[in-house]
């Protein structure tokens, strides 16, 4: 049995390896699990558990682990760094630095363990893998001498302590804003620009400043709440109190009159805020999830009234508001005097600058040379997620830079999942399809609402008087499919 010494690291390496197979074979990760598990004589759910640190066992059958290693190296094209990092997190022996002869002996055992057996064909497959690992010039973190950081898959919210977090000018403004009392901050940016990660950094700072923080993800309100204002306001207040670990007294404050807005405001002014011994930061993520509700004007008008009340009441000065949105709110909250989106500090998150891309490339161990780095910036436009995805895929050996650029527009290439998401969203909205088509063909978008929606999705941007695709990747991908 192979002892698992570092469950988090082993789970991450296995997860990366299976993702690499999916990328190279144009299959889903779920399909890869289903195909590989029988070859190892295990169930798909067992293989899936090996990708989760909390579920991975203390020991894994050595033959099955070696068999999985072979299948990942053969079909996923990962780097020597991936192999040595995985082995170092188990009780399996590892030579430092690894040599071709040592890896060759390992692969012979691993290929037999995978169920492929030992045949003349296996010898050629092993030699191809050795050539890839040692002679194709593919390097990868974590063992790259240029970097000591363990790779992080670029998905979801980033930890403020992540070595791959790039601080932008907007970070400094946001953090400075929260140092004042009665702050109001609006963060606007398309999907996968780092809004939620910045929100987490803001929350950590607020806690250090001894402020109470409530992080509220508006996507968690269900359909019933989003169509019933009476239910919504009750849930909103109850959720606030629950996150603050205070008793639920919603029903005490609710009656038929004077109405939901007054009840909700009273709940904060007369109960929640006085109960706290420190200022409260109400940070609401994905507030655009509320833009299609029938009560949006009333709700956001209420938030604006709380902001205005700071001038009249000391208790309201203890409330900081942070609102995060992907969509331009002006389409939905039209009365500027009733909008919380045009007061305080308004931040629109920017793409990475060339200097920031260069720094991120350095932190990944320089997987891109200088000329390749410039080509990457042209491809992604510095869009944070796409940039990190490209660096990650090359750093872990899933792609060489040339192959990444060659396959960039493929449905199941390095950005396939991201691109398919947008294509499927557009597919259900002919107006947006036509707007993007016109942008690609004529660098214009005559309908302002369509432009705002495409810009909010992160697909287009203004360039002087022109409207153009956000980056070369989007231009090339959608040009092939919409024209």
pLDDT of 337 reads 62
Q: How many whole angstroms separate alpha carbon 137 and alpha carbon 163?
A: 25
Give this prediction's pTM.
0.68
Q: Which residues of the chain fall below pLDDT 70? A: 24-26, 95-98, 111-127, 131-149, 256, 329-337
Number of residues in the chain: 483
CA–CA distance, 237 with 230 (Å, rounded to integer): 11
- Residue 177 CA neighbour count, 13 Å, CB half: 25
pLDDT value of position 141? 33
Summarised one tens digit per residue, pLDDT across range 231-241 is 999 999 999 99
Domains and CATH numbers, the chain: 2-135 (no CATH), 169-348 (3.40.50.300), 354-482 (no CATH)
Q: Which residue has the tokens 């436009």?
A: 381
Alpha carbon distance 314, 279 (integer Å): 11
Evaluate whether 187 touches 340 at the Cβ level (below 8 Å). no
Cβ contact 20:53 at 8 Å: no
The answer to whether residues 232 and 225 touch, using CB atoms and an 8 Å cutoff, is yes
pLDDT at 321: 95
Compute the distance between CA of residue 74 and CA of residue 133 in angstroms, rounded to an integer.
11
- 142: cis peptide before it, omega within 30°? yes
From the number of C-beta atoms within 10 Å of its C-beta (0-12, 13-18, 19+), residue 107 rates as buried
Q: Indicate the Cα dihedral angle 116, 120, 121, 126, nearest 10°.
A: 80
Q: How far apart are CA 177 and CA 182, in angstroms?
A: 10
Whether the CA torsion 229, 234, 238, 240 is positive or negative: it is positive
Six-digit token pair at 305? 């009234």
Residue-level pLDDT at 145: 35
C-alpha 6, offset from chain centre: 24
Specify burial of residue 315 (Cβ count, 10 A radius: 0-12, 13-18, 19+): middle
Comparing CA positions, the residue from 276, 275, 339 lying closest to residue 303 is: 339
């Amino acid at each position: 049995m192979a002892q698992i010494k570092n469950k988090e690291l082993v789970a991450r390496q296995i997860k990366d390896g299976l993702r690499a197979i999916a990328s190279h074979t144009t299959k889903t990760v779920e399909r890869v699990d289903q195909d590989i598990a029988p070859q190892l004589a295990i169930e798909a759910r067992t293989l899936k558990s090996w990708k989760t640190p909390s579920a991975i066992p203390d020991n894994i059958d050595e033959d099955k682990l070696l068999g999985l290693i072979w299948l990942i190296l053969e079909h996923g094209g990962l780097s020597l760094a991936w192999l040595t990092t995985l082995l170092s997190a188990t009780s399996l022996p590892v030579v430092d630095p690894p040599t071709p002869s040592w890896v060759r002996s390992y692969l012979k055992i691993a290929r037999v363990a995978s169920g492929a057996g030992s045949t003349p064909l296996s010898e050629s497959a092993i030699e191809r893998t050795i050539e890839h690992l040692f002679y194709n010039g593919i390097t990868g973190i974590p063992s790259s001498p240029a970097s000591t950081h363990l790779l992080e898959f670029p998905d979801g919210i980033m930890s403020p302590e992540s070595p791959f977090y790039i601080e932008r000018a907007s970070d400094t403004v946001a953090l400075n804003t929260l140092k004042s009392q009665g702050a109001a901050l609006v963060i606007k940016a398309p999907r996968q620009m780092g809004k939620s990660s910045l929100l987490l950094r803001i929350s950590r700072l607020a806690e250090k400043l001894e402020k109470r923080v409530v992080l509220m993800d508006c996507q968690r309100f269900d359909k019933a709440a989003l169509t019933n204002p009476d239910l919504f306001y009750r849930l909103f207040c109850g959720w606030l109190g629950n996150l603050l670990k205070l008793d639920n007294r919603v029903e005490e404050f609710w009656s038929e009159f004077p109405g939901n807005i007054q009840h909700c405001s009273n709940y904060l002014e007369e109960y929640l805020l006085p109960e706290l011994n420190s200022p409260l930061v109400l940070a609401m993520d994905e507030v655009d999830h509320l833009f299609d509700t029938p009560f949006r004007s009333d709700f956001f008008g209420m938030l604006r009234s709380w902001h205005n009340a700071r001038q009249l009441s000391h208790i309201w000065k203890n409330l900081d508001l942070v609102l995060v949105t992907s969509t331009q709110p002006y389409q939905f909250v039209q009365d500027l005097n009733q909008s919380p989106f045009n007061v305080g500090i308004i931040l629109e998150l920017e793409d990475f600058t060339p200097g920031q891309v260069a720094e991120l490339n350095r932190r990944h161990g320089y997987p891109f040379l200088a000329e390749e780095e410039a080509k990457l910036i042209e491809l992604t436009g510095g869009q944070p997620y796409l940039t990190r995805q490209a660096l990650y895929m090359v750093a872990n050996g899933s792609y060489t830079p040339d192959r990444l650029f060659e396959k960039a527009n493929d449905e199941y290439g390095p950005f396939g999942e991201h691109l398919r998401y947008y294509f499927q969203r557009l597919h259900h909205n002919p107006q947006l399809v036509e707007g993007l088509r016109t942008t690609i063909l004529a660098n214009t978008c005559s309908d302002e609402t369509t432009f705002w929606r495409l810009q909010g999705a992160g697909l287009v941007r203004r360039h002087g008087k022109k409207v153009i695709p956000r980056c070369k990747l989007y231009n090339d991908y959608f040009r092939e499919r919409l024209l």
